[in-house]
């Protein structure tokens, strides 16, 4: 039902702005989809920002765009969050679900499970994923240490969560772009400047659009929102602790480039502009 009402809104706006009759246009690839495609599951609901960070389903994208970008970006996003919560659990000694690491003890590596339990950090060497020979080597290493020979002792943990920081950046870019389309409508996709953003999302391996992600330097209230920063003619999308800077639909990227060049950090003062809030559905206020 939710999908159908977003579909119907998209059909209405696509006709008005893009002149395409009876179809929903995927905001990422700009291909057309009809009601049959919807019932065949070729369009899917996008959570903006990703579900794992509390985002709600507000817009539909086609399956192909959702698969190629969603999988890549959100997967890495989840891995990073998992790693952060593991590190936090250890440093704050808070109880948390177990996390897997690789433990290297004097050059011998094994898979371990780390869990914080009542202020203690328990490290358990996993029996089923390790080579038994490695475990016994580590045990004899520990035996030498317990006998008081600490020469050459080194001990470290590395994460098994591998992720690409670039994919996480692109996840923020995708959320910001889709939020702007949901808020402003297809008008937002219809320009050379925002085309660069769109292409960057659907071709993540290429470099079309750079410099868009800033960390907030001061505490700004927690709400996600889109702000039009008049002073420099750019959009600032606040998502969690980050700010994604986007061009306004315009012929050039000059204002965007000037902003990225000038601003090294974004703080409360920078965020002084017109607050558009966060879209709750496909609103399309400028279509
Ligand atoms: Zn698409």
Ligand 1 centroid vs 10 CA: distance in angstroms? Answer: 13
User: Does 55 fall in a domain?
Assistant: no
- 109 alpha carbon – ligand 1 mean position (Å): 44
Is residue 112, in this structure, part of any structural domain at all?
Answer: yes
Enclosing domain of residue 154 = 79-159
Pair of tokens at residue 157: 């943990």
Beta-carbon contacts of 91 under 8 Å, excluding residues fewer than 6 positions away, are none
Contacts 24+ apart (CB under 8 A), 202-205: 202/28, 202/29, 202/65, 202/68, 202/69, 204/68, 204/69, 204/72, 204/73, 204/166, 204/167, 204/170
**Which pLDDT value is given to residue 152?**
61
Q: Does residue 124 lie within any of the structural domains?
A: yes
Cα 178 to middle of ligand 1, angstroms:
12
Question: How many of the other CB atoms lie within 10 Å of CB of 185?
Answer: 23
Helix (H) or strand (E) holding 246: strand 242-247
Q: How far is the CA of 119 from the centre of ligand 1 (A)?
A: 48
pLDDT in tens, 117-152: 777 778 888 888 888 888 888 888 777 766 766 666
Asked if residue 101 is part of any domain, the answer here is yes
Ligand 1 mean position to 68 CA, how many Å? 10
CA distances from 256 to 55, 169, 263 (A): 26, 17, 11
How many separate domains does the chain show?
A: 1
Query: Tens-of-pLDDT digits for all 287 residues of the chain?
Result: 689 999 999 999 999 999 999 999 999 999 999 999 999 999 999 999 988 778 999 999 999 998 877 666 777 777 777 777 777 777 766 666 777 888 888 788 888 888 777 777 788 888 888 888 888 888 887 777 667 666 666 678 777 677 788 888 999 999 999 999 999 999 999 889 999 999 999 998 899 999 999 987 766 567 899 999 999 999 999 998 889 999 999 878 999 999 999 998 888 888 889 999 999 999 999 99
CA of 66 to the centre of ligand 1 (A): 7
Question: Tokens 């330097």 appear where?
Answer: 217
Spacing, Cα 43 to ligand 1 middle (Å):
8
> Nearest CA to 59 among 68, 46, 74, 69?
46
Structural domain includes residue 116: yes
Cα 35 to ligand 1 centre (Å): 15
Taken as a whole, the chain contains a residue count of: 287
**Residue 150: inside a domain:** yes
Query: Would 177 be classed as within a structural domain?
Result: no
Q: How far is the CA of 44 from the centre of ligand 1 (A)?
A: 10
Distance 24 CA to ligand 1 centre (A): 11
- Alpha helix (H) ranges present in the chain? 2-13, 35-39, 63-65, 71-92, 132-146, 165-184, 192-202, 254-262
pTM here is: 0.80
CB 57 within 8 A of CB 47: yes
Q: Do residues 7 and 35 make contact, with C-beta atoms less than 8 angstroms apart?
A: yes
The rounded Å distance from CA 33 to ligand 1 centre is 9
| Dist. CA 42 → ligand 1 center (Å) | 9
Distance 211 CA to ligand 1 centre (A): 24
pLDDT of residue 216: 79
Going from the Cα of 32 to the center of ligand 1, the distance in angstroms, rounded, reads: 9
The reported pLDDT for the residue numbered 146 is 67
Q: What is the pLDDT of residue 119?
A: 72
267 Cα: distance to centroid of ligand 1 (angstroms): 34
Distance 203 CA to ligand 1 centre (A): 12
Residue 52 is assigned to a structural domain of this protein: no
Distance 63 CA to ligand 1 centre (A): 7
């Amino acid at each position: 039902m939710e999908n159908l009402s977003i579909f119907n809104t998209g059909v209405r706006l696509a006709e008005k702005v893009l002149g395409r009759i009876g179809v929903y246009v995927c905001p990422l690839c700009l291909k057309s989809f009809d009601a049959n495609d919807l019932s065949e599951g070729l369009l899917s609901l996008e959570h903006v920002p990703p579900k794992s960070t509390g985002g709600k389903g507000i817009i539909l994208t086609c399956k192909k765009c959702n698969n190629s970008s969603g999988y890549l970006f959100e997967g890495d996003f989840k891995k990073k969050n998992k790693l952060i919560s593991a590190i936090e659990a250890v440093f704050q000694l808070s109880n948390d679900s177990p996390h897997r690491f690789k433990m290297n003890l004097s050059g011998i590596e094994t898979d371990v499970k780390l869990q914080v339990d009542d202020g203690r950090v328990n490290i358990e060497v996993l029996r089923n994923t390790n080579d038994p020979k490695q475990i016994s080597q580590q045990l004899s290493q520990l035996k030498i240490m317990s006998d008081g020979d600490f020469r050459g002792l080194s001990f470290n943990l590395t994460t098994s969560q591998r992720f690409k920081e670039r994919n996480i950046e692109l996840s923020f870019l995708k959320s910001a772009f889709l939020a702007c389309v949901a808020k402003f409508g297809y008008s937002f996709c219809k320009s050379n400047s925002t085309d660069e953003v769109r292409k960057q999302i659907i071709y993540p391996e290429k470099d079309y659009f750079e410099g868009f992600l800033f960390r907030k330097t001061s505490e700004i209230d927690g709400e996600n929102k889109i702000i039009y920063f008049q002073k420099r003619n750019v959009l600032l999308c606040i998502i969690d602790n980050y700010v994604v800077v986007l061009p306004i639909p315009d012929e050039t990227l000059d204002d965007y480039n000037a902003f990225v060049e000038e601003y090294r950090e974004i703080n409360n003062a920078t965020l002084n502009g017109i607050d558009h809030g966060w879209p709750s559905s496909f609103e399309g206020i400028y279509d």
